[in-house]
Structure 1
């Protein structure tokens, strides 16, 4: 009888064991390998332990700080995305005519493949692309810019494309939470003569606080370690490294004629930054619980 109870106790772990094995092989072991190799350097096909030399070289490279600065700039997209997503979700929550159609249209960009989005917008935003052709055609030639080729416009252009693709996730996430809010709160506010903005500020935001915190942390992580495909397809880090990010710098170091071990060192730096954000996320979630 006792043996049967013990078997029942351990049965759930047997079911999830294959998943854990796959995670260890695919994720944990490669991460450990990268961390170890970041302390080595390859000379004549021989691995030699060099300690923190790779990290020292990485921090002496100006490109690391340019890439990190650009990733931090992308963090500024997060509050914009959060406010826009909340506002749009709040409008759809009021079930305006055709709200289901609008919800689907807003969410479609999020499920599109990033390389597809990047290629399409590359054609749209190039100097002789569709957008500039339309502007010239309607008599606004002065507004036709080299959106991806200009050092001043390339990064904002890529950031706008990223926000356009990402906003659908926030809208659907917040809308799902709003659907579970007690309608009587809004009805009471209507009786008191509250405006839409007052209801948004004093009911919607407090009731979706936990989801807002979750969305902010997740989006920060994505802006740090999810934008490689956009940069690779649209600008390749240019012009003049104006759109260089940490992920693309790792790619350049590893496969663009740099040092593979230095690329691993930068990967560990990126992993540490992402880990800090993940820890913050866990602290926030535990606090909410």
Structure 2
């Protein structure tokens, strides 16, 4: 009888949990999972949204492999992975900084996290104003004598992509900072105290004790950051929706979007999406295997 009661209580608790998750799961199923599943067979059709669709096999994939713009977009998306180590290092340092009981530290944490939840459209307006040829950044640098002429941060093909990378670092810094902050606060304080008593300084304690204990968080955050980097879209679309100048900011998801909603090549766009997913999967598997071999799981 006691086992029956425990089983019924667990079933009731599970039902309550699923009831709370149901609204979010329904939204994900309708707007995320269904489009993903639907797009896979669509990649094998010539479909423009108007008229009949025709099965064309792997022609869309072959077209992508022979399209120079597709490879430019893939290369730029992979280049965004360069932000991963930068944003992880900065996030760890920032999390260490805010992991202190100081007056107003909670407000500082909120301010750092605000870009994560801020609308990318609003953010793009601000950054366009900052990086404009006559914007505030050029004005400051010219006033202090670091520049003689204004720099085309978003208009120069050699600088535009790196400028967008900087914006993604700014936008995602607060998110990873909070994850690392949670990791730091879960560490046993006794280990740090023992190291300090033994004569280890703050820097040595941070490198030798905190960083190794944070490996599972580094692993997870790096994996999420790689996925976000390769699938970047919103910041590029909001600031440089044409992929310019000279395709310098054309990334894979923007390329797929333009093929679908500008050229109305929905079948081809779906094929590009599948190929981008394969690239993301390959990079994610690499990070996952590297993390496991490096002892970054909780079980090692």
TM-score normalized by the length of structure 2: 0.84
When residues 208 and 150 of structure 1 are mapped into structure 2, their CA distance, relative to the original with a 3 A threshold, is same
Q: Equivalent residues in 2 for 1:237-248 (5 A)?
A: 237-248=243-254
2:219 to 213, 220, 223: 213
Which residue in the other structure is 1:157 paired with?
Answer: 163
**Aligned equivalents of 1:101 and 1:89: distance in 2?**
14
Q: Which moved more, 1:177-186 or 1:93-102?
A: 93-102
Report the Cα offset of residue 161 of structure 1.
0.8
1:288 to 275, 291, 298: 298
1:29 maps onto 2:39 in alignment = no
Report the Cα offset of residue 192 of structure 1.
2.3
2:45 to 35, 40, 43: 40
SS at match of 1:105: helix
**Native 8 Å contact 1:214 1:281 kept in 2:** no
When residues 170 and 8 of structure 1 are mapped into structure 2, their CA distance, relative to the original with a 3 A threshold, is closer
Q: Which moved more, 1:13-22 or 1:238-247?
A: 13-22
**Aligned equivalents of 1:23 and 1:129: distance in 2?**
40
Which residue in the other structure is 1:62 paired with?
Answer: 68
SS at match of 2:46: strand
**Aligned equivalents of 1:143 and 1:105: distance in 2?**
33
1:269 maps onto 2:263 in alignment = no
Report the Cα offset of residue 166 of structure 1.
0.6
Q: Equivalent residues in 2 for 1:164-175 (5 A)?
A: 164-175=170-181
Q: Deviations over 1:130-188 (max 9, x none)?
A: 11122333444426311000111111111001101111111111111111211121111
Report the Cα offset of residue 97 of structure 1.
5.7
When residues 102 and 235 of structure 1 are mapped into structure 2, their CA distance, relative to the original with a 3 A threshold, is same
Which residue in the other structure is 2:96 paired with?
Answer: 90
**Aligned equivalents of 2:230 and 2:237: distance in 1?**
15
Which residue in the other structure is 1:230 paired with?
Answer: 235
1:190 maps onto 2:196 in alignment = yes
Which residue in the other structure is 1:147 paired with?
Answer: 153
Unaligned runs of 5+ in 1: none
**Native 8 Å contact 1:135 1:143 kept in 2:** no
**Aligned equivalents of 1:10 and 1:189: distance in 2?**
46
Q: Deviations over 1:85-121 (max 9, x none)?
A: 1112122224456433332222222221122112210
**Aligned equivalents of 2:210 and 2:16: distance in 1?**
43
Aligned Cα root-mean-square deviation (Å):
3.0
1:128 to 134, 153, 160: 134
SS at match of 2:187: coil
Aligned length in residues: 288
Q: Deviations over 1:206-238 (max 9, x none)?
A: 11111111111111111122x312111212211
Q: Which moved more, 1:195-204 or 1:55-64?
A: 195-204
**Aligned equivalents of 2:238 and 2:127: distance in 1?**
10
When residues 100 and 132 of structure 1 are mapped into structure 2, their CA distance, relative to the original with a 3 A threshold, is same
